[in-house]
């Protein structure tokens, strides 16, 4: 094992030990009025709906919560839609997560069209805690369903999108791709997600999180925790042979990214660069770690 890889492993080990102390990443500079639209029909079942509760709670970690930041509300639906809690009712991340873990489950039919009409008419209104007159806030809805709607969705979804609501459609199991496309905003590739069962919904959380943290022009506002250390070494020499593609200057002779996917699916990236004879007469090794 080379010196730089030894250092890489050592730093990674220390960072993994300290993982619990790293603040959760969040969406910076995006002010959302965000409403979750959750299918609570009989096909979901109580056991799987518990996974939905946890999924919502986990996604809330993405955002900076507050009356002047992102507000979160939840609408559940089966035979008819109902508000679990309005936008702005809870003003801290922990309060929203606690409320999400206690969302009621009822069973019944799957009337997705009614739910879309409901959120368009009520959920983003001033009465519901929305900010319809604030140009800095964006209206976003995340719909999660596991089956074909028992009413029509196209007209309701079109009206909601025309009202400025950005809709993400997440389908589980037998949910039809064509119907998800009818519901979601464009481009469909960025707003439609499908998984095989409720055990898999957490696997798309990272991808959905990245999409949510993109502004409308596609620029990512996702905060990533990053640590950079510069360590001096007197015996380090550049190894240009390790670089693929066109040769780099001697001062950048070594550039090796290392990735490790943990069970939690958090991706750690370690990048090593040698600044030999650039900043220090002894040379310096820069190690950057990204999560």
267-274: strand order across its sheet: 226-232, 284-290, 267-274, 255-261
How confident is the model at residue 174, as a pLDDT? 83
* Structure confidence by residue, pLDDT tens digits, 58-114: 999 889 999 999 999 999 999 999 999 999 899 999 999 999 999 999 999 999 999
Task: Give tens-digit pLDDT for 217-261.
Answer: 444 444 443 333 444 434 444 443 444 455 544 444 444 444 444
Asked if 285 contacts 230 with a C-beta cutoff of 8 angstroms, the reply is yes
Tens digits of residue pLDDT in 144-184 = 999 899 999 999 999 999 999 999 999 999 888 999 999 99
What residue has token string 């079109």? 158
Of 129, 137, 123, the residue nearest 30 (C-alpha): 137
The whole-number pLDDT of residue 5 equals 54
What domains, with CATH codes, occur in the chain?
Answer: 3-22+225-290 (no CATH), 31-212 (3.40.50.410)
- End-to-end C-alpha distance for the chain, whole angstroms: 24
Could you give the strand order of the β-sheet that contains 81-85, starting from the edge strand earlier in sequence?
Answer: 81-85, 71-77, 31-39, 137-145, 165-172, 192-195
């Amino acid at each position: 094992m080379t010196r730089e890889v030894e250092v890489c492993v050592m730093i990674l080990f220390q960072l993994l030990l300290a993982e619990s102390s790293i603040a959760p990443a969040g969406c910076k500079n995006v002010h959302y009025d965000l409403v979750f639209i959750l299918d609570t029909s009989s096909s979901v079942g109580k056991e799987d709906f518990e996974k939905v509760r946890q999924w919502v709670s986990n996604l809330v970690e993405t955002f900076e919560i507050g009356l002047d930041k992102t507000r979160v509300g939840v609408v559940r639906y089966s035979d008819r839609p109902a508000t679990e809690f309005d936008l702005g009712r809870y003003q801290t991340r922990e309060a929203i997560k606690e409320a999400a873990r206690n969302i009621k489950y009822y069973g019944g039919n799957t009337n997705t069209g009614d739910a879309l009409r409901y959120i368009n008419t009520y959920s983003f209104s001033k009465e519901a805690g929305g900010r319809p007159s604030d140009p800095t806030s964006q209206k976003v809805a995340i719909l999660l369903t596991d089956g074909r709607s028992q009413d029509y969705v196209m007209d309701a979804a079109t009206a909601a999108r025309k009202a400025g609501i950005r809709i993400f459609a997440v389908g589980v199991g037998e949910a039809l791709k064509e119907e998800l496309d009818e519901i979601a905003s464009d481009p469909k590739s960025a707003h439609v997600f499908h998984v095989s069962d409720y055990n898999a919904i957490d696997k798309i959380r990272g991808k959905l999180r990245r999409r949510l943290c993109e502004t409308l022009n596609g620029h990512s506002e996702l905060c990533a925790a990053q640590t950079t250390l510069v360590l001096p070494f007197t015996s380090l020499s550049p190894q240009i042979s390790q670089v693929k593609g066109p040769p780099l200057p001697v001062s950048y002779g070594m550039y090796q990214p290392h990735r490790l996917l943990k069970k939690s699916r958090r991706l750690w990236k370690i990048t090593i660069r040698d600044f030999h004879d650039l900043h220090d007469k002894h040379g310096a090794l820069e190690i950057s770690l990204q999560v």
